[in-house]
């Protein structure tokens, strides 16, 4: 039989040993983890323009992704009134690094609407020019988010990419997995011909207005509605910025 002291000694030694091993491992792998997280987020941003650029963002090597971000993408952050924020202001909002890529869109959604800050990625190479915006909303089970690329005219959609936290595989998760569904958004306009903001509507039973509506997903009405709501509200946040950009 072990005495109480022996038990306490055993448990103490054991837990400190385990804590030592795990903390060493965690600290050692932290840089790799951070890099992986950053690359994952960057791939999602590039996925919105991959069709137009003819690349496959998910299989690009790390160096190439870094290169695109260093050479072709300009990151900007705006507040809800459409004012450009400096990196210091972004850091003050709680994001170390101060760049648009450091912003956690799901964390922003918990703030009151007026205090949110908006990341924006301006892609520009010899032949293409896109503006990529980030949106966040609710699916059936949990949050959904996405990156939307707009053409130079700031109203036509060039590509979209969605992700979700816990939608049902085969149903709601199709918003991420189904390339053909995402392709529908390309060429749709978020403003009507009179320049009124419409957003994009995801229609159950098929799109009727070809310019700003897309088909829903059968079996995933609530997730698809969530995507529509997310796009309409999320893109509208960028309204003041888009207005300014159009003027200039």
Partner 1 sequence: MAQAQVAAKQSSIGFGKAERKLLTDPLDSNNPVTVQVLGICSALAVTTGMKNALVMAIAVVFVTMFSNMITSALRNAIPKAVRMIVQLIIIATLVTIVELTLKAVAFDSYKQLSVFIGLIITNCIVMGRLEAFAMANGPYKSMLDGIGNGVGYGIILLMVAFVRELFGKGELFGAKLIGNTPEYLLDTTTTWGLGWYSNNNLMVLFPSAMFVIGAIIWAHRAWNPSLVDVS
Interface with partner 1 (CB under 8 A): 1-2, 6-7, 10-11, 14-15, 18, 21-22, 25-26, 29, 32-33, 36-37, 39-40, 58, 168-171, 174, 177-181, 183-184, 215, 217, 219
Residue number with CB closer to partner 1 (129 or 215): 215
Smaller CB separation from partner 1, 21 or 92: 21
Least distance in angstroms from the C-beta of 37 to partner 1? 8
Provide, rounded to whole angstroms, the least separation between the CB of residue 50 and partner 1: 15
Query: What minimum distance in Å lies between the beta carbon of 8 and partner 1?
Result: 9
Residue 176 in contact with residue 162, Cβ under 8 Å?
A: yes
Of the pair 173, 241, the CB lying nearest partner 1 is at 173
Query: Cβ distance 200 to 214 under 8 Å?
Result: yes
Contacts of 76 (CB under 8 A, 6+ apart): 84, 100, 119, 120, 121, 122
Please state the closest distance from residue 169 (CB atom) to partner 1, in A: 5
Q: Which residues have a Cβ under 8 Å from the Cβ of 10 and sit 6 or more positions away?
A: 2
Residue 172 or 226: the one with the smaller Cβ distance to partner 1 is 172
Nearer to partner 1, 141 or 197 (CB): 141
3-state secondary structure 205-244: CCCCCCCCEEECCCCCHHHHHHHHHHHHHHHHHCHHHHHH
Adjacent-strand bridge partners of 72: none
As measured in angstroms, the least distance from the Cβ of 168 to partner 1 is 7
Which residues have CB under 8 Å from 5's CB, separation 6+? none
């Amino acid at each position: 039989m072990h005495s109480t002291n022996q038990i306490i000694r055993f448990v103490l030694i054991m837990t400190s040993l385990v804590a030592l091993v795990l903390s060493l491992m965690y600290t050692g792998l932290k840089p790799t983890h951070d890099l992986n997280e950053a690359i994952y987020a960057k791939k999602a941003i590039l996925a919105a323009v991959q069709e137009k650029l003819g690349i496959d963002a998910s299989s690009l090597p790390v160096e190439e992704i870094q290169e695109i971000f260093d050479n072709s993408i300009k990151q900007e952050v705006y507040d809800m009134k459409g004012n450009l924020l400096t990196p210091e202001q972004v850091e003050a909002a709680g994001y170390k690094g101060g760049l648009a890529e450091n912003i956690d869109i799901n964390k922003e959604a918990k703030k009151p609407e007026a205090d949110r800050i908006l990341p924006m990625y301006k892609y520009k190479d010899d032949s293409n020019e896109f503006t990529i915006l980030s949106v966040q909303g609710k699916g059936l089970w949990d949050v959904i988010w996405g990156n939307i690329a707009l053409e130079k005219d700031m109203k036509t959609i060039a590509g979209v990419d969605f992700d979700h936290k816990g939608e049902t595989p085969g149903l709601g998760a199709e918003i991420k997995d189904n390339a053909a569904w995402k392709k529908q958004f390309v060429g749709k306009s978020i403003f009507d011909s009179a320049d009124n903001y419409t957003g994009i509507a995801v229609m159950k039973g098929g799109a009727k207005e070809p310019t700003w509506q897309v088909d829903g997903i059968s079996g995933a009405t609530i997730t698809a509605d969530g995507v529509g709501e997310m796009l309409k509200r999320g893109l509208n946040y960028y309204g003041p910025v888009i207005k300014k950009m159009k003027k200039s």
